[in-house]
Amino acid sequence: MRTIRYRQIADELRDRIRLARQNVLLPSESDLSAEFNVSRVTIRRALETLREAGLVESRQGFGWYVAGGPLQQHLGGLATIEDQLQQRGIRPERRVLEFAFEEAPPRVREALGADQVLRVRRLNLADGEPFAVVTVWCPAELGHHLSRHDVEQRPFYELLGIALRGATQTIGADAAGHDDAALLQIPVASPVLRCERITTDTTGRSVLMSEHVFPAHRTEFVVELPNAGPSTTPSGLRLVE
């Protein structure tokens, strides 16, 4: 009996997917078409077969990836996403890419009121897979005692040695640039969530500014609203020019 080609391809991809981590991107349709020497229509049919079986998903700007639940970050309090991942049995890891004391960029100077800052850029991983590129700034006088090893092992919240009051977090949509795309292993210009957080101490002074870039296909922010409001418009939504 002649085996239908797209089913052969689906069976081979199914074997690969069983060995892959959740949310890992698959090769593009054009790459798979070249690998199997078939048309993209045939590849698309094979992938749709796997999607019907719940093994893969697709999203505009990303292509196809191994199905899996997104990483969730609850925004009800001042906490790190690493703690939330550990509670779900996921192993978090920080990989410091840059560590430098330097002159504050204008927007950081305005936010922190400091001319000199410690800037740390890192890659966050979950079970070995990249899920965020994070840049953190703090006034140099607060971070002068810190080392590269310190910030790789523990969150800034624990390292500053001061009491914190809370944070303001702003989340928007963006497209991945070349650098972030390479680190997150996603296509250039694919959708990302860009989060800016400004943390204050108990006196109201801004002591930390951070920027987090998350791939949109594997990240969700969850906000719990204690009371239903009169409008169905999401709380905190504002228009940006």
The pTM score is 0.74
Q: How confident is the model over 15-39, as a mean pLDDT?
A: 86
- Write the pLDDT tens digit of every residue in 159-181: 988 998 888 888 888 999 999 99
According to DSSP, residue 206 is labeled: E
Task: Return the pLDDT at 226.
Answer: 65
Q: How confident is the model over 131-137, as a mean pLDDT?
A: 94
Contacts of 149 (CB under 8 A, 6+ apart): none
Average pLDDT in the chain: 85
pLDDT value at 237 more than 80: no
Same fold, 5-66 and 71-222: no
- Report the CATH architecture of 5-66: Orthogonal Bundle (1.10)
Domain boundaries in the chain?
A: 5-66, 71-222
Tokens of 141: 């006088």
Give the confidence band of 236 by pLDDT, cuts at 50, 70, 90. Answer: low
Give the confidence band of 1 by pLDDT, cuts at 50, 70, 90. Answer: very low
- The alpha carbon of residue 142 and the mean position of all alpha carbons in its chain are separated, in whole angstroms, by 27
Give the confidence band of 2 by pLDDT, cuts at 50, 70, 90. Answer: very low
Distances (CA, A) of 130 to 134, 139, 185: 11, 28, 7
- What topology is assigned to 71-222 in CATH? Chorismate lyase (3.40.1410)
